[in-house]
Amino acid sequence: MKFYKKLNKKVKKVSCQVFTLRGQLIDCFFIEFQKFLNIFKKKRPNYFIVCGFSERDKLHLVKMMKEIFKDDKDYLFFSGSSALETKRILNKNIISNSEIDIIEFEKISTLFGSSRCLKIICLVRDPRDLISSFHPSTPGQFFQGYDYRFFLKDNIKSYTDPGISTIYNCIKSIENNNEAIIKIKNENLNESLEKEITKLANFIDFDFSGGREKFDEIFSGLDIPEEKFKKQKIVSDAPSWVQDERLIRVVRQIKLCGAIEAIACSLGYLSLDEILDEYGITVPSLTINYGTIVLFYTDDDLYKNEAERCIKYIEKLGLKYDATVIPKKSQWVENCAMKSKILLDARKRLRGPILYVDVDAVIHKDPWPYLSQYEGDLAVYFHSNGELMSGTILINDTQKAMCLLEEWVASQDSSPLEWDQRVLEELISSYEKNDNSGTRKINIQRLPPSFCYVFDKLYSSFYGEIFIEHLQASRQVKRPLGSGSVRRENRILEIHENAGSDGS
């Protein structure tokens, strides 16, 4: 029976490989055939990548472009689709606003550079305005930062899309390679729309010779106020982001990533100091909310060793921690089920924020300056597929956080063999559904993947540095001789070598 299972598995694997190879060959045929058509027609079709710091701004610009090309059948729009998914489309000018395209531009350029004319339209805005903005779908947390922004799909809210610095670095790389790129300021679109659209039309080789009459015809259905056609106005009021909590957010982000200021200035905006001086605004004093890192582990050799390593790195950073040892239960999932009780006990005993971290993790960098931005009740990481990961949880010192933990304990007690993070995921889902209806209020925020990084997971959306790395000791329990365990052991050796032979 085992032989047939293995054989079936191998057959499926080979079939998958053959199917993939077949698809790749077909893709290559279409790309080569497009090159032939280009020779015949003596021109290449355009592929426009619309990118920028703000999804809303991009969608607004794409809407404008749809009006420009609404009567031209040679233009196709692929909202959210990557260029890599359009290999089999021939002889069409394509416009895409997929975030993936700007991240994977080097790969796209290699694939299509000789068959399509790649052009990048980049819509920018003052990054300090964006990092301090909210979104209706995520009212309890700033929508984006220097490293990440929210990914929203259906009911999924995940802090996994690229942030300001990632997008900007991609844009600079494209500029440095002398690719065809145009940058349009969102503020200019709002204040001098006709001038900016004329500039855009010249870039995309669209005949805009009809003047204002043609302009009015194209944009009559866009619901854009007439004052946006006028020349840019002199704004006497200070930017909205220098007020109250938005200014605090900006200053915290700049302290975490000084490149935000450099990006703003490189795009032609005044520096923070110049703006504060001009309007006589004083930056409020900021504090870092240092709390306690909470761990627990079973009293067996494997997890004692994990705890020893974890604590060593915590002490190296000079951080406060609280560790609990529990008797080992018969099943791994039963050990995990103790998490909610231990966290509830810790929340009752300890003051200030607490950060729960699985004991088989390594904390590479002091997390508290980053986590001081979180003022909600609880923060946890979700994959972009909607799956919650409970290896890292921030629990602030609030009554609502206490109530949530109590409900988690009760739910876990009713399902003792259910994986703890699935129980918490269902609980958070029910809370947020109730929040949307206005019947209940609790602020559950999202952590970025850098706080719950699994050492060998292939992230499609990982940017920046790693704060907390999870080493998955459960692999040693489930499959001690498996390939995952081997990769884990190699990574542990690598971490120790990078830190010194004694891990110090």
Reported as a single tens digit per residue, the pLDDT across 99-120 is 778 888 888 888 888 898 999 9
**CB contact at 8 A, 132 and 246:** yes
231 pLDDT above the threshold of 50: no
Buried b (16+ CB within 10 A) or exposed e, 278-315: eeeeeeeeeeeebbbbbbbbbeeebbebbbebbbebbe
According to the model, what pLDDT value does residue 502 have?
Answer: 45
According to the model, what pLDDT value does residue 209 have?
Answer: 59
Mean pLDDT of 44-49: 88
Contacts of 285-289 with C-beta under 8 Å, sequence gap 24+, read 286/248, 286/251, 286/252, 286/255, 286/372, 287/372, 288/368, 288/369, 288/372, 289/352, 289/353, 289/368, 289/371, 289/372
Rounded to an integer, what distance in angstroms lies between the CA atom of residue 158 and that of residue 149? 8
Lowest-confidence pick of 311-320, 338-347, 440-449, 482-491: 482-491
439 pLDDT above the threshold of 60: no
Q: Which residues contact 282 (CB under 8 A, 6 or more apart)?
A: 276
According to the model, what pLDDT value does residue 208 have?
Answer: 58
Rounded to an integer, what distance in angstroms lies between the CA atom of residue 415 and that of residue 454? 26
Mean pLDDT of 396-422: 92
Lowest-confidence pick of 206-210, 374-378, 456-460: 206-210
According to the model, what pLDDT value does residue 13 have?
Answer: 64
Rounded to an integer, what distance in angstroms lies between the CA atom of residue 400 and that of residue 387? 23
pLDDT digits (tens, 9 = 90+) for 244-257: 899 999 999 999 99
According to the model, what pLDDT value does residue 5 have?
Answer: 57
According to the model, what pLDDT value does residue 1 have?
Answer: 57
Would you place residue 362 in the very low, low, confident or very high pLDDT band (cuts 50, 70, 90)? Answer: very high
Rounded to an integer, what distance in angstroms lies between the CA atom of residue 244 and that of residue 335? 45
pLDDT digits (tens, 9 = 90+) for 130-176: 999 999 889 889 999 999 999 998 889 999 999 999 999 989 998 88
According to the model, what pLDDT value does residue 460 have?
Answer: 67
According to the model, what pLDDT value does residue 234 have?
Answer: 35
**CB contact at 8 A, 3 and 63:** no
Structure-model confidence comparison of residues 455 and 346, the more confident one: 346
pLDDT digits (tens, 9 = 90+) for 185-228: 888 877 777 777 778 878 877 665 555 555 566 555 555 444 44
420 pLDDT above the threshold of 70: yes
CA distance to 136, 142, 398, per residue, from 376 (Å): 16, 11, 9
According to the model, what pLDDT value does residue 226 have?
Answer: 45
Mean pLDDT of the chain: 84
Mean pLDDT of 470-482: 74
**CB contact at 8 A, 49 and 112:** no
Q: Which CATH number is correct for 292-499, 3.30.200.20, 3.30.70.260, 3.90.550.10, 2.70.70.10? A: 3.90.550.10
According to the model, what pLDDT value does residue 501 have?
Answer: 44
Domain boundaries, the chain: 292-499
Instruction: Read off φ and ψ for residue 184, nearest 5 degrees.
Output: -120, 130
332 pLDDT above the threshold of 50: yes
> How many of the other CB atoms lie within 10 Å of CB of 474?
18
Contacts of 163-166 with C-beta under 8 Å, sequence gap 24+, read 163/131, 163/463, 164/53, 164/127, 164/130, 164/131, 164/260, 164/263, 165/257, 165/259, 165/260, 165/263, 165/463, 165/464, 166/103, 166/463, 166/464
Lowest-confidence pick of 21-25, 336-340, 396-400, 417-421: 21-25
**CB contact at 8 A, 420 and 390:** yes
Would you place residue 11 in the very low, low, confident or very high pLDDT band (cuts 50, 70, 90)? Answer: low
According to the model, what pLDDT value does residue 500 have?
Answer: 66
